Amino acid sequence: MTDMGYTIAQKIIKAHKISGDMTVGSEVALKIDQTLTQDATGTMAYLEFETMGIDRVRTERSVAYIDHNTLQSGFENADDHRYIQSVAKKHGIYFSRPGNGICHQVHLERFGKPGKTLIGSDSHTPTGGGLGMLAMGAGGLDVAVAMGGGAYYITMPKMYKVNLTGKLNPFVTAKDVSLEILRILSVKGGVGAIIEWGGEGIKSLSVPERATITNMGTELGATTSIFPSDEITKAFLEAEGRGEDYVELSSDPDAVYDKIIDIDLSSLKPLIACPHSPDNIVTVESLKGTKVDQVCIGSCTNSSLTDMLKVAALLKGKVIDPTVSLSISPGSKQVLKMLADCGALTDILASGARLLECACGPCIGMGFSPNSAGVSLRTFNRNFEGRSGTADAQVYLVSPETAVAAALTGEITDPRILCSMPEIKLPQKFLIDDTAVIEPADVAEAANLEVLRGPNIKPFPKEIPQEDTLSAELVLKVGDNITTDHIMPAGAKILPYRSNIPHLSQFCFGVCDTTFPERAKALGKSIIVGGSNYGQGSSREHAALVPMYLGVRAVITKSFARIHAANLINAGIMPLTFKNPDDYDKLSQEDKLTLSDVFAGMDGGEITLKNETTGESFTLCASFTERQKAILKAGGLLSYTKKQGEN
Ligand code: MIC
Ligand code: SF4
């Protein structure tokens, strides 16, 4: 670091740094104040935590949420909920019951604190950046280690700043700001960076609006996004009865940024992300008239009280188009109760909307899948192919205002032509009711508590140490921007098996090639090749644990998304990149490959790959830290952590 001023993120990193230096690209170990898990990644994270043999979490606050797998069409999800509840009680973790809301929304309301570090086993953990937290998505194993008091390692990111000027016009929203930055930067544009939002324009954005923006920063591939903590943050925390959690936080005037982007809020129009990528952006007016079958309002991006009050006001006294199915999932019990108390819920129901529970729901394909080839407009953050549960659905991402306009007219409609925007006043005080958050047991009681496990919970797969020579077949070659939804699909049918890796493995890469699991298993040892931004999207470590179970030993790509690369290392799989990206074209599926002198190569940062089928050789980048090399040699983070404990 220089003697220049600090950005907000650099200040928090400096205050939490355990080791490492803050030069861009270096590895920094951070002390983690808070953790969160959700149920789709939580079961595995707590199984990993239990394996570490630590009695009680060592964080300031750890919370286990149940919000993803809430459709209980068999015993599996209910068993997982019961397991998480019992493990939380025993080990010092707060438990947010099913129905209490989506982890990111509830955490923002009840637990997030400016200036603190938070990691969560969910890629949208950066939602907390709306409150001035350094909040990052991570794999379950990293969260387990942090719960045990261990450091969280990040590669020191570059610092980007987005300067907002002006004010949003009616019907143009924080969601449109998120879509605008995706239009500018693309789904790869934030990789290796933290995005700080500032400028005069942020003064007109409430904390939930800021959280919409930091939430969707995940789709840029950014390490995280963050807003200053200011008077607006203070007012929000006071309204949540948590005024004492406020601290002011801003960047130094002479802070240095690697990139500065200016956005004039008053110049923005309602935007829409077209299938199948969040950066496939056009204006809503350009798609005017497109027939819509389904509209979904909710998700951790757009389910705050403000969002829902706007939706209710726009629906009031109207009935939705008879050919459209509209779902509303409020983000939390707090939001739902307040909607009910002020009568807004009645306006929503009277319009013909279907009320879903306060959970992720359709966002992760947990019900409410669109009809075949259906057009679905969603206020969510991801529209990856197949994610909705309907393989040929066309999913678009929009603001709540644009969503209502489509629900009323039956077609994509610019909301600005609807009516005038009703004035929405936020309450001075939110309704506070934490009865759905169960406190952990005290140490004495905890010692006698039993952890309740179900038959669907299978042991963690066997970790296999890397060897000095890797000879294996190229089992699968894929293109650019492969998401973790491609690698390990979710949805109502598959999600119940998140704690059963052998069962889950049948679905691996199902979107790309249904023969993959069988072929990989038969080979016993294999290599995957991908294009750029491989592993973008969800933080699910299952996208690494399942390939590990199927025998994948290395993944070679043009570039990786941050969390997935870390998850691969944690699973003992080598993430390697082509030194010359054109070498990607020299490899074909079923080629026999050899990587020799792997350990010396890791030390030197380069490994030679020989394609035995064509006879060609070329260089792969293998830049790992000492810790990462030790993890790979041990076969994964769990074995590494156990070994550390033995020493
Ligand atoms: C998602 O939005 O893709 C999820 C489901 O929340 C995931 C977590 C998971 O796969 O369980 C995420 O974003 O990390
Ligand atoms: Fe849940 Fe969707 Fe948010 Fe993921 S993106 S946490 S599935 S609401």
Given this model, what pLDDT does residue 460 score?
87
Distance CA 208, CA 306 (A): 8
Given this model, what pLDDT does residue 29 score?
98
Fold annotation for 271-416: Aconitase; domain 3 (3.30.499)
Q: Is 39 in the pocket of ligand 1 (CB under 6 A)?
A: no
Q: Where are the alpha helices (DSSP H) in 415-523?
A: 443-447, 484-487, 501-504, 516-523
**Which is nearest to 98 in space by CA: 163, 165, 185, 40?**
40
Q: Which two tokens stand for residue 366?
A: 């947990």
- Residue written as tokens 């129905």? 99
Neighbours of 427 (CB within 10 A): 12
Q: Relative to the CA of 40, which ligand 2 atom is closest?
A: 7
Of 63, 102, 378, the residue with max ligand 2 atoms within 8 A of its CB, to mutate for a pocket test, comes to 102
Q: Of how many residues is the chain composed? A: 647
* Cα-to-centroid distance, 223 and ligand 1 (Å): 16
Given this model, what pLDDT does residue 418 score?
83
Given this model, what pLDDT does residue 436 score?
98
Of 364, 483, 495, 498, the residue with max ligand 1 atoms within 8 A of its CB, to mutate for a pocket test, comes to 364
Given this model, what pLDDT does residue 422 score?
84
Site residues for ligand 2, CB cut-off 6 Å: 68, 102, 122, 124, 299-300, 360, 363-364, 380-381
Q: Relative to the CA of 218, which ligand 1 atom is closest?
A: 13
Distance CA 566, CA 141 (A): 10
Q: Relative to the CA of 298, which ligand 2 atom is closest?
A: 8
Torsion of CA 379, 384, 385, 386, to 10 degrees: -70
Residue 498's region, left for phi above 0, alpha for psi from -120 to 50, else beta, is alpha
Q: Which two tokens stand for residue 411?
A: 């077609």
* Cα-to-centroid distance, 469 and ligand 1 (Å): 35
**Which is nearest to 232 in space by CA: 249, 218, 214?**
249
Detail the DSSP E strand segments found in 43-141. 61-65, 94-96, 117-120, 134-137
Q: Relative to the CA of 122, which ligand 1 atom is closest?
A: 14
630 burial (CB, 10 Å; 0-12 / 13-18 / 19+) is middle
Of 65, 70, 122, the residue with max ligand 1 atoms within 8 A of its CB, to mutate for a pocket test, comes to 122
Of 124, 538, 564, 567, the residue with max ligand 1 atoms within 8 A of its CB, to mutate for a pocket test, comes to 538
Q: Which amino acid belongs to residue 216?
A: M
Q: List, for the chain, all residue ranges whose pLDDT scores fall below the cut of 70.
A: 1-2, 645-647
Q: Is 490 in the pocket of ligand 1 (CB under 6 A)?
A: yes
Q: For the chain, which residues make up each domain, given as ranges?
A: 8-267, 271-416, 470-646
pTM for the model stands at 0.97
Given this model, what pLDDT does residue 647 score?
59
Q: Is 116 in the pocket of ligand 1 (CB under 6 A)?
A: no
Q: For the sheet containing 27-30, what is the strand order?
A: 17-19, 27-30, 152-155
Q: Is 539 in the pocket of ligand 1 (CB under 6 A)?
A: yes
- Residue written as tokens 């197949």? 386
Q: Relative to the CA of 542, which ligand 1 atom is closest?
A: 10
CA 95, 100, 106, 110 torsion-angle sign: negative
* Cα-to-centroid distance, 101 and ligand 2 (Å): 11
Q: Is 70 in the pocket of ligand 1 (CB under 6 A)?
A: no
Q: Which two tokens stand for residue 454?
A: 């179900």
* Cα-to-centroid distance, 546 and ligand 2 (Å): 21
* Ligand whose nearest atom lies closest to the CA of 487: 1
**Which is nearest to 2 in space by CA: 24, 20, 17, 19?**
24
Neighbours of 447 (CB within 10 A): 10
Alpha-carbon distance values, 140 to 39, 82, 180, 216, 384 (Å): 11, 18, 31, 21, 22
Neighbours of 261 (CB within 10 A): 17
Which neighbouring-strand residues pair with 229? 249
Q: Is 122 in the pocket of ligand 1 (CB under 6 A)?
A: yes
**Which is nearest to 208 in space by CA: 399, 435, 436, 337?**
399
Q: What is the DSSP pairing of strand 325-328 with strand 17-19? A: unpaired
Among protein residues, the one whose CA lies closest to atom 10 of ligand 1: 540
- Tell me if 271-416 shares its fold with 470-646: no
Q: Relative to the CA of 488, which ligand 1 atom is closest?
A: 10
Best CATH choice for the domain 8-267 from the list 1.10.3720.10, 3.40.50.720, 3.40.50.10490, 3.30.499.10: 3.30.499.10
* Cα-to-centroid distance, 499 and ligand 1 (Å): 15
Among protein residues, the one whose CA lies closest to atom 2 of ligand 2: 363
Q: Is the peptide bond before 276 cis (omega within 30 degrees of 0)?
A: yes
* Cα-to-centroid distance, 111 and ligand 1 (Å): 20
**Which is nearest to 504 in space by CA: 484, 488, 485?**
488
Give the CATH H-level superfamily of domain 470-646. Aconitase, domain 4 (3.20.19.10)
